[in-house]
Amino acid sequence: MTECKGDIDCRGAVQKLWDYLDDELTPERMDEVRRHLERCGDCLPHHEYGRVFLAALASARQTDARAPDALRRRVMDSLRAAGFST
């Protein structure tokens, strides 16, 4: 595999893969990883694995979890006892 000057190798790409998937790299670094994934058959499965894993993890968020009414009342009671006036 030919490496272009300035491009990262497989180790560097995998080190940055979570950051890449989290969109936490600088634009230049994002491009570096993206270019590497486009031409590296070894690293692409890692990317897919991480992507699917994070999607599954995000789906585990219990979006329907709401504070129970009893807790809301309890919070308001304690706030009023502390001086909250609305």
Q: Which residues contact 62 (CB under 8 A, 6 or more apart)?
A: none
Question: Per-residue x/- mask for other proteins, residues 48 to 77, rule CB under 8 A?
Answer: -xx-xxx-xxxxxxx--xxxx-xxx-xx--
With CB under 8 A as the contact rule, the residue among 3, 9, 22, 31 that binds other proteins is: 22
Which DSSP string corresponds to 18-54?
HHHHTT-S-HHHHHHHHHHHHH-TTTHHHHHHHHHHH
Residues within the interface to other proteins (CB under 8 A): 11, 14-19, 22-24, 45-46, 49-50, 52-54, 56-62, 65-68, 70-72, 74-75, 78-79, 82-86
